[in-house]
Structure 1
Amino acid sequence: MPVYTRVLTRLRALRVPMRPRDTRVLKRLRDARDAHPSADRALRLTGHVLAAVLVLGALLMPNTAPGLRPDRFTRIPAEAIVGAVLLLALPRRPRVIFAALYGAALGVLTVLNLLDIGFTEYLGRGFNLVLDWGLLDDALSYVRDSMGGFVADAAAVGAVLLALLLVVVMALATVRLGDVLARHRTRAGQGALVAGTVWITCASLGLQISGLPVASDRAADTVRGQARRVVDTLRDEAAFAKEARTDPFGATPPNLLLPDLRGKDVVIAFIESYGRVAMDDPLIEPGVGRTLDSRGAALARAGYQARSGWLTSATYGGSSWLGHSTSLSGLWIDNQQRYRTATNSDRLTLTAAFRKSGAWDTVGIMPGVQKTWPEAEWYGLDTVYDSSEMGYKGPKFSWSTMPDQYALEAFERLEHGKKRKRPLMSEVILTSSHQPWAPVPEMIDWEDLGDGSVFDAIEEDGREASEVMADSTESRKEYGRSISYSVTALTEWLERYGTDDTVVVFLGDHQPIARVTGHTKNRDVPVTIVAKDPKVLRAIDDWRWTPGLRPADDAPVWKMDAFRDRFLTAYGSVRRPTKG
């Protein structure tokens, strides 16, 4: 049936009113087709081929960036064979409806695969349909903070349009292929039979290409994987809530918490994205290694000693709050649901243990916090300084609201340097090593920090984020520079303002993203304790940590949720459990 006649028939069946001008347009199209039959056939064939490529690509599409290789698309998808058989068996109207729904489902599946790729690149795990929608808003905020509102809005609109376009285009492609199959029903049926026989044979014999089975059920596997994540998430919620209520130190009296640190000013500092790659990568390690060695030597000259080990973080690439909460609560908090459950529980965090003891004032230095932060109470912080409360008047450095050196100087001015009746326990978050690592601040004379305006010229001369993000090698170099900067700022602050009673614990929250680490499964971050009082370090002799700021490759590796209990025990806390 000619195209012109088919279009008119469908429009009449749908009772679409036809104006004379519409009829003339269709007539011109028919005349153009009749005048150029070869071009018309080539155009229709191209449309058929593109539709088939789109459908097969969606059915075979991997959900990881390393999997996007040509050999992943050389397999036979079972879902295509089943879909073809159903399209051949259905009458016209049900066929069109089924084809549209099948194509729309393939579009949704493609969107989920793209989300998996993005989440794996940035967070080291796939997208969770239950938990991760809120993280898309966080991602938008990150882009806005790093690259500006226009880029963020354009990216958001582009992502929504792409998702809608994928669904619509896939639906149109499957409807088109359904029509082709119906017009060539006999040959299409024979082809489906042959394809099904080949698929079964390949599956039975276990035939493979590049280590992957020729007989593929990739789309079905993706659906099963997403369903499994949903079920596992729902099951985990109740089990974790019970775990959060069971606390080995939950009922410990105040006088039995941290007695061996009484009289010490304790700083617990998290360095953003400070991961094992900083000491393993041949491009990054030389610079970071020199910084750790030189700063360790400077601290030793000032009378400080250090011990370092490894912790395996509960997160990767981002979601820093999961690393913070895991290390301080003794719970494995690797997703947003667990984080909400934990922060709404009575679980005793390490920082809250200092406050509960009654022997310390507690403060949080949070330059990355730019809105209300109700978790402060769960962390046991009497006072919190966010990005708006530190007096900073200088420029942002990409996502980071202020350089670490300024944040530490503000900490000294606002809290640490003041005379007080009780020692101070502080949680400090250092953000200058947050991706995209451009521009990176530089150390200046502490006396010249002022209100931070001095950083205007440094920020202006720094590199553009887009330039660094586009190049993995440059990302690794700038990441290393940012880690060196953060470590230098913290250790210079300690050297400048620390006393005989200062104890600093600093650690990474997670490894950086895959653009820096590659697609490694390693989640280790360094952790270091620095003090002048030798009794502080003798208390952890049995930990067998490495002397200095740099943990040895074979230093002990603990899961991050083990840190709280080991720290409390090492410094004299007595277990008095609560049970859920």
Structure 2
Amino acid sequence: METGRPPSESGRASSLSNTGQLLLALFLLNSALVFHNRWPTAGVRWVPELSLDLVILLGGLVLLATWRPLGRGVRGMVLVLYLILILGRYLDVTAPALLGRPIDLYWEIRHFPRVVAMFLDGVPGWQILVGSLALLALVGVLVAVARWALGTVTAALAHPAGRRRLGALSLVLLALYGAGRLNPHWPTEHWFALSVGAMLAGQAQSALAATVLNDPRRFAAEPPLPESDLGRLAGGDVFVIFLESYGALVLDDPAFADPLADDFTTLQRKLDAAGWRVVSARVESSTFGGGSWLAHASLLAGARIADPADYQSLLTSNRSTLVARFAAAGYRTLALKPGLKYPWPEGWFYGFDQILDARRLDYRGPIYGWWAIPDQFSLYWLHQTAVAPADRAPLFVIFPTIVSHAPFTPVPPYHADWSVFDDWLAATEASDVMELNRRLHGRELAEAFIRAMRYNLQMLGGYLRQYAPDNALLVVLGDHQPPAAVGGREISWQVPVHLFARDPALIEAGLAVGFQTGLRPGPTAVGGIEDLGPWLLRLLDSQQPPPATFLPVAATTAGLVTPTAVSPLTQ
């Protein structure tokens, strides 16, 4: 049968078609490993870069195909490997963009179900169903495209000419990458995206460091917390209030500082009128965008807890904490944790006399999103049940707030008349009022964060003016900067810390070590968050003169007066 086309033209057309398919396959495979995050969303955008991982994979497949044909089992393994690389790339560009820090899969994957539950709370079931089906469809398309593209490449590798071309391409690209690495004047290294394989190797190294290579004696070399009789408190209560996501961003970035300026001014004016004095400083947090428990542990242990491996090492140590120091001085120690919905086995390590979690609060008012309980209610509940009673021991209270936790919505209204909560305390059944979360992105997310910060300031001012004991010392600080989806990732790890007291001696002691009068701290950090607890113990010890420096003498003589502000993201 005649085809109407000479054999040479038919073969040339087939060759061009095969070459076109191969180029398209390589383009798709490369694109799947070089995309970047579309900040401040979880989406991605294409970037014209080359994938070093693809180049290495091609070279390996060329060598393997030269040795033996690529069977179905090998092709299946390559497909699975490539899908892992795609997922790794997505995590590698999305987590730092939204959180402001790299992700540690070994530690953080266990929190994934709860994070998903938090963001899906209040979302209608039909939206979850549609979203799940869309996600499954996307994954299906991704798998199909990857299978076709890899199949096209392996088909080309079945022929000597294909192996020669792909092998030469791999060698040329590797040479360009290597030349750029060796010669800083050559820009070729910057043509390539960061390697996903290197990121996965780092994840494996982190997992080994947390398990096989973990050193349980890590805290044996850390100096212990100083002893203190806490005599300068004269039996006054101490409240350590962590304002969730309260970072220096609210002071430094006009997008946040300007909308909150009047709130800070109003709070300062009302506290002055009520006889409260305040001094403020900055400290370097041990975490960014999340991982609040690392900041809490750093302050309580007086040691820098910068990752979950440090945290686990701390829990298996016999290190004494701030809680133990206050308990030894006769204080009743309380952890007010309205955001705690699950068992907290770590609580035994700190040795609190009582952990007041969501179950213990027995909140029966309107439900506000995933976190449910307004911080104002929690603080009022604490006051009515633990602070107001007479003939009690002095209190040491740790209170991490939750309203300003991601996703920052819904924000409950602030009630100037706190007694409105009496009805909720006396309720016999939970209210059926439900305020649903809305999915927020970009500027909406930043505006919700500002509203949550405004609520925090109103609650703090109201408690100080109406309820706080006159002899109390309140240490109010942030745990970390908000996630990078709110204010970006190229910012410091600093958080504000405020000391509120009526005792002039405590205020003057803060001024002596770098705190500034009022609610606005100076531009530099006085130390790390781990230094705050030891400084408080030295400050409150009546057997010693007030400390002249924020850091211990040993640290200042070693040149550590100003801590580094460099985060792992910029190293």
Give the TM-score category using the shorter length: 0.7 to 0.9
Amino acid at match of 1:517: G
The residue aligned with 1:559 is 528
Aligned equivalents of 1:296, 1:102: Cα separation in 2? 62
- Aligned pairs for 1:219-230 (under 5 A) are 219-230=196-207
Determine helix, strand or coil for the equivalent of 1:540. Answer: helix
Which residue of the partner structure matches residue 172 of structure 2? 197
Task: Tell me what 1:79 maps to.
Answer: 56
Give, in whole Å, the separation in 1 of the partners of 2:194 and 2:16: 32
How much has 1:362 moved relative to structure 2? 1.7
Ranges in structure 2 where 5+ consecutive residues have no aligned partner: 1-12, 545-571
- 2: CA distance, partners of 1:375 / 1:314: 19
1:368 to 339, 348, 373: 339
Shift of 1:345: 2.6
Call closer, same or farther: CA 1:549–1:217 in 2, change over 3 Å.
closer
Answer yes or no: is the 8 Å Cα contact 2:219–2:314 preserved in 1.
yes
Query: How far, CA to CA, are the matches of 1:52 and 1:142 in structure 2?
Result: 39
* Alignment pair present for 1:422 and 2:393: yes
Q: Give the deviation of 1:450 after TM superposition.
A: 3.1
1:327 to 272, 286, 299: 299
Checking the alignment, whether the CA contact within 8 Å between 1:437 and 1:465 is kept in structure 2 is: no
Task: Give the 3 Å change call, closer, same or farther, for CA 336–204 of structure 1 in structure 2.
Answer: closer
Structure 2 residue corresponding to 1:52, chosen from 16, 26, 34: 26
Q: Decide which moves more: 531-540 or 77-86.
A: 77-86
Paired residue for 1:22? none
Q: Report the Cα distance in structure 2 between the residues aligned to 1:137 and 1:108, rounded to whole angstroms.
A: 20
Q: Does 1:91 align with 2:60?
A: no
1:385 aligned to which of 356, 369, 391: 356
Contact 2:177/2:189 (8 A) holds in 1? no
Query: Normalising to structure 2: TM-score of the pair?
Result: 0.80
Tell me if structure 2 keeps the 8 A contact 1:439–1:459.
no
| In structure 1, C-alpha distance between the alignment counterparts of 2:483 and 2:349, rounded to whole Å | 28
- Residue 178 in 1 paired to residue 151 in 2? no
Q: Which amino acid is 1:568 matched to? A: L
Q: 1:565 to 1:86 in 2, by over 3 A?
A: same
- Assess if the C-alpha contact under 8 Å between 1:144 and 1:151 holds in 2: no
Task: Please state how far the C-alpha of 1:169 moved relative to its aligned partner.
Answer: 5.7
- Identity level (%): 25
Displacement of 1:62 in angstroms is 5.9
Q: Say if 2:267 is the partner of 1:292.
A: no
Query: In structure 1, what is the Cα distance between the partners aligned to 2:423 and 2:89?
Result: 46
Q: Structure 1-normalised TM-score?
A: 0.79
- Provide the alpha-carbon RMSD of the alignment: 3.8
Query: What secondary structure is seen at the aligned counterpart in 1 of 2:218?
Result: helix
> Does structure 2 conserve the Cα–Cα contact (< 8 Å) formed by 1:353 and 1:380?
no
Partner of 1:531: 501
Distance in 2 (alpha carbons) for counterparts of 1:564 and 1:236: 29
1:278 to 247, 250, 255: 250
2:468 — aligned with what?
498
Asked if 1 retains the 8 angstrom alpha-carbon contact of 2:290 and 2:480, the reply is yes
Taking structure 1 as reference, are residues 260 and 246 closer, same or farther at Cα in structure 2, changes over 3 Å only?
farther
Change (3 A) 1:527 1:154: farther
Counterpart selection for 1:540 from 510, 515, 538:
510
Deviation at 1:162, TM superposition (A): 6.8
Contact 1:276 1:511 in 2 (8 A): yes
What do residues 187-240 of structure 1 show as CA deviations (whole Å, max 9, x unaligned)? 5514532552364256436599988533678344334443444455458730xx
In structure 2, do the counterparts of structure 1 residues 484 and 194 end up closer, same or farther at CA, with 3 Å as the change threshold? closer
Going from structure 1 to structure 2, the CA distance change for 1:439 and 1:68 (only over 3 Å counts) comes to closer
Q: Show the counterpart of 1:301.
A: 273
Following superposition of structure 1 onto structure 2, how do residues 230-245 of structure 1 map, counting pairs within 5 Å?
230-233=207-210, 237-238=214-215, 241-245=216-220
Return 119-128 or 505-514, whichever deviates more: 119-128
Structure 1 residues 250 and 436 mapped into 2: Cα distance closer, same or farther (>3 Å)?
closer
1:431: how far off?
1.0
CA–CA distance in structure 1, aligned partners of residues 388 and 32 of structure 2:
60
CA change 1:75–1:267 in 2 (3 A) is: closer
Residues in 2 aligned to 1:479 and 1:98: alpha-carbon distance in whole angstroms: 50
In 2, the alpha carbon distance for the partners of 1:149 and 1:209 equals 54
Q: 1:5 is matched with which residue? A: none
| Equivalent residues of 1:313, 1:510 under 8 A apart | yes
Mapped partners of 1:202, 1:109: distance in 2: 20
Structure 2 counterpart of 1:245, which letter? Answer: A
Aligned residue number for residue 263 of structure 1: 235
Q: Which amino acid aligns with 2:359?
A: S
1:440 aligns with 2:411: yes
* Residues 174 and 378 of structure 1, relative CA distance in 2, 3 Å threshold: same
Q: CA deviation at 1:152?
A: 7.3
State the Cα deviation string for residues 378-398 of structure 1 (Å, max 9, x = none).
333212221122242123322
CA 1:154 to 1:507, structure 2 compared with 1: closer, same or farther past 3 Å? farther
* TM-aligned CA distance change 1:564 to 1:149, over 3 Å: farther
Q: 1:465 and 2:435 equivalent? A: no
- Aligned residue among 351, 366, 374 for 1:395: 366
| Structure 1 residues 382 and 49, CA gap change in structure 2 (3 angstroms) | same
* Alpha-carbon separation, structure 1, partners of 2:20 and 2:542: 74
Name the SS for the 2:238 alignment partner: strand
- Residues 201, 403 of structure 1: CA spacing in aligned structure 2 closer, same or farther, 3 A cutoff? closer
What is residue 213 of structure 1 aligned with on the other side? 190
Change over 3 Å in CA distance of 1:570–1:130 after alignment to 2? same
Question: What residue ranges of structure 1 are gaps of 5+ in the alignment?
Answer: 1-38, 576-580
Alignment deviations for residues 519-575 of structure 1 (CA, whole Å, 9 cap, x no partner):
224111111110001122223332210111221334x34211111111111211889
Structure 2 residue aligned with 1:474, among 432, 444, 453?
444
* Residue in 1 that maps onto 2:552: none
- Cα distance in structure 1, aligned partners of 2:136 and 2:535: 47
Against the structure 1 CA distance between its residues 552 and 315, is the aligned structure 2 distance closer, same or farther, given a 3 Å change threshold? Answer: same
Matching residue's letter, 2:469: T
1:13 equivalent in structure 2: none
**Alpha-carbon distance in 2 for matches of 1:148, 1:574:** 60
2:450 is paired with a residue of what secondary structure?
Answer: helix
For residues 275 and 414 of structure 1, what CA distance do their matches in structure 2 show?
Answer: 31
Cα distance in 2, alignment partners of residues 215 and 338 from structure 1:
34
Q: Is the contact between residue 287 and residue 481 of structure 1 (CA under 8 Å) also seen in structure 2?
A: no
Which residue number corresponds to residue 514 of structure 1?
484
1:142, distance to aligned residue in structure 2 (A): 2.6
Q: 1:120 corresponds to which letter in structure 2?
A: P
In structure 1, give the amino acid aligned to 2:414. Answer: M
Shift in Å at residue 483 of structure 1?
Answer: 0.7
Whichever structure has more helix as a proportion of its residues is 1
Give the length in aligned residue pairs: 524
Corresponding letter in the other structure for 1:571: L
- Mean CA deviation greater in 540-549 or 82-91: 82-91
Instruction: Show CA shifts across 1:423-448 (max 9, x none).
Output: 22211221111111222122122232
> Distance in 2 between the 1:316 and 1:388 partners?
29
User: Is 2:56–2:170's contact at 8 Å kept on the other side of the alignment?
Assistant: no
**1:106 matches 2:75:** no
Q: Report the Cα offset of residue 331 of structure 1.
A: 1.8
